Structure 1
Amino acid sequence: MEFKGKLESFEFNHWSFHVPVPDDISKKIIDDFNRRVLVKVNGEGPWHMALMKSKDYWYILINQEIRKAQRLETGDLISISLEKDNSEYGHELPEEFQVLLDQDEEGADFFKSLTPGKQRSLVYIVTKVKSPESRMKKSLAIMHHLRLSKGKLDFKQLNEMIKYYNNM
């Protein structure tokens, strides 16, 4: 589904840059449990995002990376393409992380017991790095943390574990 929307900014929040999504499009994409979408901005992407709800309308956030790459300013008219994101974690699961999930039954059980949002956050931590070696180190750190904490995710401790693995 495609539409043109204007880049707007909320005045009250640091995640302020967004594009309102017409109600008719939002209603076609959202189901009871999934507001995740693949978004193309001016033909670039896709990016994994979620439809968000303000008091008056649905919208998608446009982060700094996208704004910089496309030189977008508040008020700019943008071409948006939305497609339902049917991926399991809201991001593509990196091969390095999948291998560990397949090999580490206990770690995989802890991972699967997390909420979908926490699972998505962990997958994103691995996905955002480009180097296969770095993805593997982050994956190992996550699985180690989940086993040590018995599945109780503590991002401060996880970040320490990631630093440890990065320095190995």
Structure 2
Amino acid sequence: MTFQDLTSTASTERALRRTRATIDRRRKHRTPLIIGSVAAFVLATTAGGVAVVQANLTQQNHLTRCYSAWSTSSEFYDSANITDPNLSTTLNPTEQRVAAAIEACEAGWRSGLWPTTTPPGPLTACQLRDGRLAILPREKTEEACKDLGLTEPQ
């Protein structure tokens, strides 16, 4: 085989066809693997996202986020109300949940979790996106929760 045979148009075309055939074979074997991996990742992410978005009924009944100021970016702690020995599996009435949440956060203020032992004003209940209650120090107004991007307790 001479140098001219190796550099001829026909030789180059044969080499390109062989390379193209190799690439096509590899692509055919890899495509199902890539599609399967992407599908598995999307399903796992979606399932995890749904689990994080909504608190379960026990959490909605018994976990409260207590904020130190009228802002969801202020310092906070999560309070667990464990006075219900049965940890009911049905959602408690809103008024009962709000009263228990405010009491839990007031207890946190009294115990010294914040620099003062009393909240700086009345406490207001709003509902976080996951269904749990958030208690923040401020006078209750019609638009109070909406101003923070939260909803009224339901």
TM-score (norm 2): 0.23
Larger Rg: 2
More strand by share: 1
